[in-house]
Chains A and B, each alone.
Chain A
Amino acid sequence: GAGVSQSPRYKVAKRGQDVALRCDPISGHVSLFWYQQALGQGPEFLTYFQNEAQLDKSGLPSDRFFAERPEGSVSTLKIQRTQQEDSAVYLCASRMDSTKETQYFGPGTRLLVL
């Protein structure tokens, strides 16, 4: 389909491992967002890209979290030295551009850190 896709859908990591989560936004969408959703909670903003520029990373919880979107399309969220509190669903959303208000979400990557 033409929606936002994320991979992997599920990831189990041992504490201390590095993980990389991928997001393929809707083709042509300029804006891309990453959110973290803990169990039973609403999504919390992590970071925002407009094309390849990371305009807001105020929600990244620590310097172990890093996101990139080098060519302005696919984005990768990397978590280094994972810890148990990183266990959550990581959601990616894209938006046509900054003049539009609707974000389209992917299915998420469920990360479990043991």
Chain B
Amino acid sequence: SQQGEEDPQALSIQEGENATMNCSYKTSINNLQWYRQNSGRGLVHLILIRSNEREKHSGRLRVTLDTSKKSSSLLITASRAADTASYFCATHSGNTPLVFGKGTRLSVIA
């Protein structure tokens, strides 16, 4: 079963624009992680935010976490064609395995 649910399912933007993806989840968590997956490849870990953190930055990535709403957002600023990929949120609770959402497919058009 998949806990996280990303929205939108698909997003198409022009190069240079910002892309925002949202993730909602159901149970309390220790941390939430975002991964990127290029077509036909494995997942690449982007950023982790702990349950006691509200915002985190890494390069052009900004992640927010609202535990009261059980939601997170991933913002990619000044997008590039190379950012075209699927983005997944994954939640970690206690000793349970990572639970991934269904992903957002981002297309950045040059």
Q: Which A residues have a C-beta under 8 Å from some C-beta of B?
A: 4, 33, 35, 40-45, 48, 56, 59, 91, 93, 101-108, 110
Contact = CB atoms under 8 A, between A and B. Distances in A.
A4 B42 CA distance: 10
A107 B4 CA distance: 22
A44 B102 CA distance: 10
Nearest to A3: B42
Interface stretch (B13-21, B52-60, B63-71, B93-101): B93-101
A43 B33 CA distance: 13
A43 B31 contact: no
Given A102-B45, A102-B48, 17 more contacts: A35-B100, A40-B102, A41-B103, A42-B2, A42-B88, A42-B90, A42-B100, A42-B101, A43-B88, A43-B100, A44-B1, A48-B97, A56-B97, A91-B43, A93-B43, A108-B41, A108-B42
Contacts of B90: 42
Interface of B: 1-2, 4, 31, 33, 35, 40-45, 48, 88, 90, 92, 97-103
25 contacts: A4-B42, A33-B97, A35-B100, A41-B103, A42-B90, A42-B102, A43-B88, A44-B1, A45-B98, A45-B99, A48-B97, A91-B43, A101-B48, A102-B48, A103-B98, A104-B45, A105-B35, A105-B42, A105-B43, A105-B44, A106-B42, A107-B40, A107-B42, A108-B41, A110-B40
A4 to B, nearest CB: 7
B47 to A, nearest CB: 10
Contacts of A91: 42-43
Contacts of B98: 33, 45, 103
